[in-house]
Amino acid sequence: MTPESQADPHHRLYPAVELRGVTKTFTLASGEKLTAVNDLTLTVEPGEFVCVLGPSGHGKSTLMNLIAGFIEPTGGEVLTHGDRVTGPGPDRGVIFQRDTLFLWKRVADNVGYGLKSRGVPKAEREEIVARYLDIVGLTRFAKAWPKQLSGGMRRRAAIAAVFANEPDVLLMDEPFVGLDFARRAVLHQVLIELWSRANNTIFFVTHDLDEALALASRILVVVNGKVMHEARLDLPRPRDAEALLSPEVNAVRLAVLEELEAAMADVDEAGGQFAAAASA
């Protein structure tokens, strides 16, 4: 079931994320200017699970970095819950392609790091950490070092660490890339359970259409720095194999594939430029 909006009245008055005419232009070493996000206007409501798809180098990660506050827009403005984004903040959690666990801290200390930084009392911190370790199935590994965990377990620990800090908006940049199907399926279930409990908003960048179909309440296709297609999926979760082969899901799958195929026809001209901009 899709989470309801946050209990805070402030959250009910404004979108969780809002981009108003946002443009991001990079300047390459050659002096050439390339636009990665192009006059984009977008609204994400509280509690939405939005998955973002598109060809490599067409602005997906740049868009996420703008919302995170890691980079500033060249034009337009980015807001979260009505407040202009001027830099990173605790209201936005970020999970990258590779986990960012501290190798010199035990699993429980990694999960509680954000809480400790915010000054949460020890007893309360330990209770929150224990709860999230239980949800992600890592209670037995609370005292383990990250190097002692498998790749999937490290991802679970990283997800628990971000959720424990209770961000209003969670930004995820291909967090499960490189994992096998079984581990991804487990992590999808963990993520959906955490999201349904936390009632927060997720902005999830992926190249995997099946992953987006399994997770999203809305799918956005980003091409040349613009949202070229969007589709809503009002289906309960978890979505089993039968649900993912339903006529409703297949219609969304075909529409997204058509948009991606059309984008790839132009990838040699535009994609190379955007890839260069993204790496500038």
* pLDDT at position 278: 45
The answer as to whether 191 is a domain residue is no
Pair of tokens at residue 161: 């660490």
Is a pLDDT exceeding 60 seen at residue 7? no
Number of domains in the chain: 1
- The answer to whether 106 and 145 are in contact (CB under 8 A) is yes
Q: Which of 28-32, 64-68, 259-263 has the highest mean pLDDT?
A: 64-68
CATH number for the domain that contains residue 280: 3.40.50
Distance between CA atoms of 259 and 261, rounded to whole angstroms? 5
Confidence of residue 242 (pLDDT cuts 50, 70, 90): confident
Task: With respect to residue 146, please indicate whether it lies within any of the assigned structural domains.
Answer: no
- Long-range contacts of range 264-273, CB-CB < 8 Å, 24 or more positions apart? 264/55, 266/224, 267/55, 270/58, 270/224, 271/55, 271/56, 271/57, 271/58, 272/57, 273/34, 273/57
Ranges of H-type helices in 81-121: 107-111, 113-117
In whole angstroms, what is the distance from residue 35 CA to residue 278 CA? 9
Q: Find the farthest-apart pair of alpha carbons in the chain and give their distance in angstroms, rounded.
A: 57
> How much is the average pLDDT of 1-17?
60
Question: Do residues 112 and 125 make contact, with C-beta atoms less than 8 angstroms apart?
Answer: yes
Per the listing, tokens 């060249």 go with 74
Residue 204, domain member (yes or no)? no
Helix (H) and strand (E) counts in the chain: 11, 10
pLDDT higher than 90, residue 261: no
pLDDT in tens, 101-154: 899 999 999 999 988 988 889 999 999 999 999 988 999 999 999 999 988 889
pTM: 0.85
- Domain hosting residue 26, numbered range: 1-91+169-175+212-280
Q: Which tokens go with 55?
A: 């060809």
Domain annotation covers residue 103: no
In a domain, 136, yes or no: no
Q: Could you tell me if 53 and 212 are in contact, meaning their C-beta atoms sit under 8 angstroms apart? A: yes
Residue 256 lies in a domain: yes
137 domain-assigned: no
Does residue 258 sit within a domain? yes
